[in-house]
C-alpha cells in the first residue's frame, strides 16, 4: 500500500489541492481499488469503518452502516428480516446473506437520507451484498475485502468510477489524533471507548429487566451515536438504528428528530404503504420520495399532483388518528444519548415513539426529574457516566 494518495478535491471542488497520508509516516492501511475519492468520501469512510468494526467486535455479528455527511443515516447488525420488513426495504426480491441483511437494515433505517450514501461493511463483501449496493444510489464503499465477483459488480457502478476502498482489518490508529483548524493543530487522545457489561450496570430506574435483545439494541444505538455528529440521539430496534437526531444544538431537538425518523420508519411498514401500487416506470428512489410525501401531514397541491402520478391507483392517505393508532404498536425501542438529558421533555417525547430502554451519561442537576419521568412511562434507564461527543 502507498504512503500517501491524492484526492479528487477537498471538501468542495474549489479546494483543488487535497491528499491523504500518514502523519507519522509509513504505509496507508487503506487501498483504493477503484475510483477517485474526495475529502468527504474519506471522512465518511473513516468514520463509518470503525463503527461497523466495533459493532462486529462487540456483538459478533456482521455489521453495516449507511453514512451521509459524516453521520450514520443507518447502522445495523445482521438480524433476520421479516417478510414485511424486507418488502418495506425493497429487498424482498433478493437472496440475502448475513452481511447483505445487515446492509439492507442499515439502508432501510432512513432510505430518504441514505440516497447517495457511503457504505461501510465489517466483513468481506459477498455477491448478495454487492447486488444490493449495485442497484442503489451510493457514493462508495469501504470493507476489509471483496469476493472477486462482488468486486467486479461494484466496479461497474458509475460507469466504472465507483470508489471502492479496502482497509486492513487489523489496523489500529495511534493513541493520539490531531487535526488542523484555521491553521492551529488540535490534539487529543482517540476515543477508544467500547460499551461493555459495566456500561449497562448503573440502572437508575425502578424497572431493571434488561433482556439480551434490549442490551444488543442499546449497544447498536450507543456505538452508532459515538460516530454521529453531536449533539446526537439514536434509536434502535431489532439490531438496527431506526432514527438518528444528529448535529442539533438542543438536546430535545435531537430527540424530536430521531423519534420522527423512527415514526416514519415504522409507518413505512403500514399495510397501506406496503400495498401501494406504483407505476412501472417509478424507480426505488422515487418510491421513497412518494412514500415520504404520503406520510406528511400536509402537502401542497403541486406536491400532491406530482405525487399522484406515481401510482396506478392513488392510495388513501392515512389520517392523523390512523397514524397514531399504528404508532402505538411501536414498542421496545432502545435510545442512546451522547450526553445527559437536561429536562424531562426528552423522555416525554421519546415515550411517544415506543422507547422503553434509555442509556444516557447522567450528571444533570435535574437527573431526579428525568428519572422520575422514565419511571412514569415504565422505562428502564441507565446513567452510564460516559459522554460520547463527536465533532
CATH classification of 193-267+328-383 is 3.40.140.20, yes or no? yes
Position 5 scores a pLDDT of 82
CA–CA dist 220, 335 (Å, integer): 10
Position 74 scores a pLDDT of 96
Position 297 scores a pLDDT of 66
Number of helices and strands (H, E) in the chain? 13, 15
The active-site residue out of 34, 41, 47, 231 is 231
Whether 266 contacts 327, CB under 8 Å: yes
What is the location of CATH 1.10.287.440 in the chain? 271-317
Position 1 scores a pLDDT of 64
- What's the CATH superfamily of 4-172? AICAR transformylase, duplication domain (3.40.140.20)
- Three-state secondary structure along 5-62? EECCCCCCCCCCCCEEECCCCCCCCEEEEECCCCHHHHHHHHHHHHHHHHHHHHHCCC
Whole-model pTM: value is 0.94
Position 189 scores a pLDDT of 93
CA–CA dist 198, 70 (Å, integer): 29
User: Is the bond preceding 231 in cis, omega lying within 30 degrees of 0?
Assistant: yes
Residue 90 gets which letter from DSSP?
A: T
Q: Which three cell numbers stand for residue 328?
A: 402505538
Residue 167: CA atoms inside 13 Å, Cβ hemisphere, count?
A: 22
Torsion from C-alpha of 137, 143, 146, 150, nearest 10 degrees: -10
What is the location of CATH 3.40.140.20 in the chain? 4-172, 193-267+328-383
Active site residue 215: no
Active site residue 168: no
The active-site residue out of 69, 168, 206, 253 is 69
Residue 47: CA atoms inside 13 Å, Cβ hemisphere, count?
A: 25
Residues of the chain with pLDDT under 50: none
Q: What's the topology of domain 271-317? A: Helix Hairpins (1.10.287)
Active site residue 47: no
CA–CA dist 313, 310 (Å, integer): 9
The active-site residue out of 34, 41, 56, 68 is 68
Amino acid at each position: 500500500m502507498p504512503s500517501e494518495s491524492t484526492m479528487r478535491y477537498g471538501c468542495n471542488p474549489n479546494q483543488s489541492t487535497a491528499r491523504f497520508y500518514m502523519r507519522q509516516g509509513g504505509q496507508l492501511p487503506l487501498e483504493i481499488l477503484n475510483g477517485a475519492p474526495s475529502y468527504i468520501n474519506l471522512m465518511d469512510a473513516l468514520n463509518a469503518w470503525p463503527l461497523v468494526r466495533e459493532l462486529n467486535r462487540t456483538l459478533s455479528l456482521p455489521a453495516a452502516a449507511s453514512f451521509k455527511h459524516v453521520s450514520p443515516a443507518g447502522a445495523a447488525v445482521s438480524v433476520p428480516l421479516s417478510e414485511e420488513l424486507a418488502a418495506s426495504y425493497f429487498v424482498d426480491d433478493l437472496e440475502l446473506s448475513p452481511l447483505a441483511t445487515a446492509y439492507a437494515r442499515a439502508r432501510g433505517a432512513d432510505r430518504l437520507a441514505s440516497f447517495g450514501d457511503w457504505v461501510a461493511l465489517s466483513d468481506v463483501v459477498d455477491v448478495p451484498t454487492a447486488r444490493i449496493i449495485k442497484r442503489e444510489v451510493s457514493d462508495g464503499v469501504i470493507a476489509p475485502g471483496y469476493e472477486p465477483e462482488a468486486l467486479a459488480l461494484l466496479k461497474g457502478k458509475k460507469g466504472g468510477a465507483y470508489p471502492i476502498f479496502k482497509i486492513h482489518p487489523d489496523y489500529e490508529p495511534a493513541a493520539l489524533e490531531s487535526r488542523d483548524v484555521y491553521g492551529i493543530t488540535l490534539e487529543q487522545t482517540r476515543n477508544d471507548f467500547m460499551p461493555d457489561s459495566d456500561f449497562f450496570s448503573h440502572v437508575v430506574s425502578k424497572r431493571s429487566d434488561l433482556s439480551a435483545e434490549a442490551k444488543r439494541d442499546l449497544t447498536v444505538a450507543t456505538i452508532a451515536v459515538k460516530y454521529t455528529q453531536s449533539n446526537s440521539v439514536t434509536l434502535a430496534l431489532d439490531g438496527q438504528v431506526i432514527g438518528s437526531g444528529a448535529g442539533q444544538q438542543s438536546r430535545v431537538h435531537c430527540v424530536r428528530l430521531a423519534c420522527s425518523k423512527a415514526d416514519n420508519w415504522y409507518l413505512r411498514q403500514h399495510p397501506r404503504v406496503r400495498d401501494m401500487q406504483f407505476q412501472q416506470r417509478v424507480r426505488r428512489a422515487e418510491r421513497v420520495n412518494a412514500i415520504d410525501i404520503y406520510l406528511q401531514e400536509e402537502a401542497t397541491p403541486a406536491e400532491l399532483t406530482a405525487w399522484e402520478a406515481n401510482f396506478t391507483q392513488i392510495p388513501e392517505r392515512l389520517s392523523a388518528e390512523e397514524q397514531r393508532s399504528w404508532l402505538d404498536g411501536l414498542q421496545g425501542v432502545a435510545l442512546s444519548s451522547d450526553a445527559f438529558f437536561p429536562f424531562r421533555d426528552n423522555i416525554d417525547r421519546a415515550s411517544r415513539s415506543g422507547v422503553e430502554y434509555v442509556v444516557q451519561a447522567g450528571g444533570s442537576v435535574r437527573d431526579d426529574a428525568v428519572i422520575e419521568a422514565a419511571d412514569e412511562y415504565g422505562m428502564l434507564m441507565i446513567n452510564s457516566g460516559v459522554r460520547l461527543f463527536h465533532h
